C-alpha cells in the first residue's frame, strides 16, 4: 500500500473515532509559532561553523512551525527550517518535520498512537527538540553524542512510528517503534568516508528505531534507552579516476540517558555506543570495523528564574579500542593525526532569558582533540590543531 493510501486510511480511521460531542470548529485549534537565532563564534584554532579563527557569524537558524487538530484524535504538524552552519549547511529552507499523529486509543491509564510522515527521531534527551535554541542545554549540544557534522543522519526519518504510553502511580513508561528512510546529505560522506568522493551517498535500506523511557510524575527523574540502525550505500561516478568502489557503511546508534530535575538544578548524563562497518569500498578504503563511543555529564543551576549556569564535560572516540588515536594515525600513514580520533571537552555557559521572547547565551569550551570537527570545514587534517578554544555568543527570539 502506497503512503497516500495509508494516509487516507488513517484519516478515515480518525474520523470514525471522532466524537459527535466535539463541536468546536477545527480551525480554532490552529497554532503558529516561530523562532530565530544568531550566533557569533570564535576559535583559537580550527574552523567551527564557519571561518571562526577570524570570527564567524555563519550560524543562523530560522524556524516556522504550525499545528492543527482537525479531529480530536488527529494532529497535523510541521516545521520549515532555515539553518546556516558554516560550510555544512547553507541556509536553504527545508522541511524539518511534517507529520500526521493519530491517537488510536486513549484513557487515563494509557495511550496508543501512530505517526506518519517526516518525524524527528526519538533519540536521547535532545534530538527531537535540537533545532529550537530555547530547548537546547547550550548553544551547541554535547557533540560526542549529538554530532552536528552528521546531524541529518539521525535527525529525522520519512516513515511511520507506533508509540504507546502507560501512566501509573509509580511513574510513566513510553515505548516508540519506527521505520523509514533517513535523510542523508553530503556531510555524512565527509564524516564516514573522510572526504567528498565523486558519487552519491544514499540510504541502502530502511532505518529502524526504538526508544523506551521511564519518567516519574512531574518528570523529576528520566531514564531512557534509544537507538537506530541503518546502512549507507555509496554509488560512485564510474567515469571518475579518483573515487571509491560501490560500498556500504552500516551503523548502530544507541544511547542510554539519565536526567534528574530539582527545583534549582538539573543533572544530565548520556552514553552513546556506535558500532560501524565499512565494506566493499576497494583498496582506497579497506574493509574495517570500529566502535564509536561518547559520553557527557552536564549540570545546570538556576541562579534565578531567568538566569542559568551550565557546566559540561564530555569525551568521544572514533574507536573505543583506539582511544589514543595511535592505530588511526598508523593505519592512514599519518594522513589522520592521533587527535582526530578523540575529543575531550570542558564547557561552561550562561543563559539569560530577558523575557518570554528573547534569550541571550554565552559559552566557552576547552577542546583536546579534533574528533568532533567537520572534515568538510577542515579538509586538511594535518592542519588541525589538537588543543583549541571555542568562544560563542547567541541571541534568540521566539513567538
End-to-end CA distance of the chain: 40
The top-level CATH class assigned to 87-398 is mainly beta
- DSSP labels for 22-75? --S-GGGG-EEEEEEEEEEEEESSS-SSSSGGG-EEEEEEEEEEEEEEEETTEE
Dihedral angle at the C-alpha atoms of 51, 52, 54, 58, nearest 10 degrees? 60
DSSP code, position 207: E
pLDDT of residue 193: 87
pLDDT of residue 23: 55
pLDDT of residue 234: 92
**Host H or E run for residue 245:** none
Give the residue carrying C-alpha cell 528564574.
305
From first to last of the 399 residues of the chain, give the pLDDT tens digit: 454 444 444 444 554 444 444 557 888 899 999 999 999 999 999 999 999 999 999 999 999 999 999 999 999 999 999 999 999 999 999 999 999 999 999 999 999 999 999 999 999 999 999 999 999 999 999 999 999 988 888 889 999 999 999 999 999 999 999 999 998 888 888 888 888 888 888 999 899 999 999 999 888 999 999 999 999 999 998 888 888 999 999 999 999 999 999 999 999 999 999 999 999 999 888 999 999 999 999 999 999 999 999 999 999 999 999 999 999 999 888 888 999 999 999 999 999 999 999 999 999 999 999 999 999 999 988 899 999 999 999 999 999
Question: Where are the chain's structural domains?
Answer: 87-398
pLDDT of residue 91: 94
Dihedral angle at the C-alpha atoms of 145, 363, 93, 154, nearest 10 degrees? 0
- DSSP labels for 341-372? GEEEEEEEEEEEE-SSSEEEEEEEEEEEE-TT
pLDDT of residue 154: 86
Nearest alpha-carbon partner for 144 in 364, 382, 365, 391: 365
pLDDT of residue 183: 85
Please give the sequence-ordered ranges of beta strands (E in DSSP) within 141-285, or none if there are none.
156-168, 171-182, 199-203, 207-215, 221-236, 248-261, 265-279
- Distances 113 to 1, 75, 110, 116, 155 between C-alpha atoms, Å: 20, 11, 10, 10, 21
Question: 198-227 burial string, b = 16+ CB within 10 Å, else e?
Answer: ebebebbebbbbbbebebeeeeeebebebb
Query: Residue length, the chain?
Result: 399
pLDDT one-digit tens code per residue, 327-354: 999 988 888 899 999 999 999 999 999 9
pLDDT of residue 20: 41
pTM, full prediction? 0.91
Q: Are 303 and 309 in contact (CB under 8 A)?
A: yes
Amino acid at each position: 500500500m502506497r503512503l497516500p493510501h495509508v494516509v487516507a486510511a488513517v484519516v478515515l480511521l480518525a474520523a470514525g473515532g471522532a466524537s459527535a460531542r466535539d463541536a468546536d470548529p477545527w480551525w480554532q485549534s490552529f497554532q503558529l509559532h516561530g523562532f530565530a537565532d544568531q550566533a557569533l563564534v570564535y576559535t583559537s584554532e580550527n574552523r567551527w561553523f564557519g571561518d571562526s579563527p577570524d570570527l564567524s557569524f555563519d550560524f543562523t537558524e530560522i524556524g516556522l512551525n504550525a499545528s492543527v487538530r482537525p479531529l480530536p484524535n488527529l494532529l497535523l504538524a510541521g516545521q520549515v527550517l532555515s539553518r546556516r552552519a558554516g560550510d555544512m549547511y547553507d541556509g536553504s529552507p527545508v522541511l524539518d518535520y511534517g507529520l500526521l499523529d493519530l491517537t488510536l486509543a486513549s484513557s487515563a491509564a494509557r495511550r496508543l498512537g501512530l505517526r506518519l510522515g517526516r518525524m524527528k527521531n526519538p533519540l536521547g534527551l535532545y534530538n527531537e527538540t535540537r533545532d529550537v535554541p530555547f530547548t537546547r542545554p547550550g548553544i551547541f549540544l554535547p557533540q560526542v553524542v549529538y554530532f552536528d557534522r552528521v546531524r541529518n543522519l539521525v535527525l529525522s526519518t520519512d516513515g511511520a512510528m507506533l508509540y504507546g504510553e502507560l501512566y501509573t502511580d509509580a511513574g510513566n513508561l513510553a515505548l516508540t517503534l519506527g521505520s523509514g528512510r533517513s535523510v542523508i546529505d553530503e556531510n555524512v560522506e565527509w564524516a564516514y568516508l573522510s572526504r567528498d568522493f565523486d558519487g552519491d551517498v544514499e540510504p541502502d535500506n530502511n532505518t529502524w528505531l526504538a526508544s523506551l523511557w521511564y519518567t516519574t510524575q512531574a518528570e523529576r527523574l528520566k531514564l531512557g534507552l534509544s537507538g537506530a540502525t541503518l546502512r549507507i550505500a555509496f554509488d560512485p561516478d564510474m567515469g571518475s579516476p579518483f573515487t571509491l568502489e560501490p560500498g556500504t557503511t552500516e551503523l548502530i546508534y544507541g544511547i542510554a540517558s539519565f536526567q534528574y530535575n530539582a527545583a534549582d538544578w538539573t543533572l544530565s548524563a548520556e552514553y552513546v555506543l556506535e558500532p560501524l562497518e565499512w565494506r566493499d569500498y576497494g583498496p582506497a578504503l579497506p574493509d574495517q570495523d570500529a566502535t564509536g563511543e561518547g559520553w557527557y555529564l552536564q549540570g545546570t543551576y538556576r541562579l534565578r528564574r531567568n538566569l542559568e549556569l551550565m557546566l559540561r564535560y564530555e569525551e568521544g572516540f572514533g574507536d573505543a579500542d583506539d582511544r589514543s588515536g595511535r592505530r588511526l594515525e598508523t593505519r592512514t600513514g599519518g594522513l589522520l593525526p592521533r587527535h582526530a580520533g578523540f575529543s575531550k571537552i570542558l564547557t561552561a555557559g550562561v543563559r539569560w532569558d530577558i523575557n518570554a521572547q528573547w534569550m541571550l547565551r554565552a559559552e566557552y569550551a576547552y577542546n583536546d582533540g579534533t574528533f568532533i570537527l567537520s572534515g568538510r570545514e577542515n579538509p586538511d587534517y594535518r592542519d588541525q590543531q589538537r588543543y583549541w578554544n571555542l568562544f560563542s555568543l547567541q541571541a534568540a527570539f521566539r513567538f
